[in-house]
Amino acid sequence: MSVLDLARPEIRALQPYSSARMEASGGQVLLNANESAWAPPGDHELGCHRYPDPQPAPLIDALARLYGVRTSQVLVGRGSDEAIDLLVRAFCRAGQDAIAIQPPTFGMYAVSAHIQGAGVITVPLAADFSLDVDAVLAALTPAVKLVFVCTPNNPTGQLVRLQDVARLAQALVGRALLVVDEAYIEFSDAPSAAPLIDQFDHLAVLRTLSKAWALAGARIGTLLANEQVVALLRRVMAPYPLPRPCVALALEALTEGGQDAARAHIALVREQRARMARALAEVPGVRQVLPSQANFLAVRFDDASAVYQRLLAAGIVVRDIQRYPQLGDALRITVGLPEENDRVLDVLQNRLQDARALAAGQRP
């Protein structure tokens, strides 16, 4: 059985759009795509009057090297959000198929499924927020085409062990595609599931430059999967998903110098994460700081809403995650600059008499 047997038959049969850039490359006089002959103001040699390469080879090469896979196993899109959406659209028939998720987890999986008209099977994480592989398998129905696993998980910060990912992959052969979302894995000690792609052609791994690589604003996310899955998703994807300025920024980030900068920032985030976890645990009103392998901390409070408001009054915006199951008393706090983290602690430890003074940037 091919993994493509799990996909929507109409997508497999689809005659995809063929863009000018796909049909011909090379040549010096480009009169095939109805582009302007003139570069726009502020172009800085980017060539933005021309449509971009749908999947620019230098970027694909750099990402394949970075993630340790073959170039044919790489699909780059507008953030991993786009990859999630493409997977749901390519594999789930409206009104018939479904995805499986383990709440509390990243909201986009369910949103993409709802937009597509696909069902959502939920298998809650255990009380310690670990993944219960047997519970996931027991809940599967034939309608489930995609199983999403987020590691480290957003918003809890916990890892799913690679051996659990492998066991899940093994059990899903011929049944569903396993999607492992590793948006935060650079901040963890854990190995990526990417090497398992060669073993399991129904495994997709999502990576992004949005978090550890400081490029949330450029929208560059990568799906790693076997080439059949990559080719299938390209049929569904917009013809020119990657704006030239964004590709240029991504290539810059992936140079040696860019990689050094990213590594330094990751080290700083990890150091600050440990410091914040220790300090927050000592703050009166904090019930628990969940152990995190990501660039954020989920923190339980006696009165999370009051803390949220107090931080907001001091000009600090954190994420209220009280609507998530099992996190009815929690806020998610991203690890910021050391001085930003200081401000959070100042407010929570009531070291400030006047919140407005803090908002104005003055220290007590």
Residue ranges that bind ligand PLP, judged by CB under 6 A: 79-81, 106, 150, 154, 181, 183, 208, 210, 216, 221
Q: Are 179 and 148 in contact (CB under 8 A)?
A: yes
CB of 36 to ligand PLP, least distance (A): 30
CB of 208 to ligand PLP, least distance (A): 3
Q: Which residue's beta carbon is nearest to the bound ligand PLP?
A: 79
CB of 207 to ligand PLP, least distance (A): 8
Q: Are 36 and 49 in contact (CB under 8 A)?
A: yes
CB of 87 to ligand PLP, least distance (A): 12
Closer CB to ligand PLP, 219 or 244, in the complex: 219
Closer CB to ligand PLP, 120 or 283, in the complex: 120
Alpha-carbon span 343 to 351, nearest angstrom: 10
Nearest to 83 by CA among 228, 207, 227: 207
Closer CB to ligand PLP, 93 or 265, in the complex: 265
Collect all residues with Cβ–Cβ distance below 8 Å to 155 and sequence separation of at least 6.
104, 105, 106, 296, 298, 319, 321, 324, 327, 330, 332
Question: Which CA distances in Å does 213 have to 187, 190, 250?
Answer: 11, 17, 9
Q: Which two tokens stand for residue 268?
A: 């700083």
Closer CB to ligand PLP, 81 or 186, in the complex: 81
Token pair 């992959």 is at which residue? 169
Alpha-carbon span 323 to 353, nearest angstrom: 31
CB of 183 to ligand PLP, least distance (A): 4
What long-range pairs does 337-346 form, CB within 8 A, spacing at least 24?
A: 338/268, 338/272, 340/316, 341/272, 341/275, 341/276, 343/314, 343/316, 344/276, 344/311, 344/316, 344/318, 345/276, 345/279, 345/280, 345/283
CB of 149 to ligand PLP, least distance (A): 10
Closer CB to ligand PLP, 55 or 210, in the complex: 210
Closer CB to ligand PLP, 119 or 221, in the complex: 221
Closer CB to ligand PLP, 4 or 87, in the complex: 87
CB of 163 to ligand PLP, least distance (A): 21
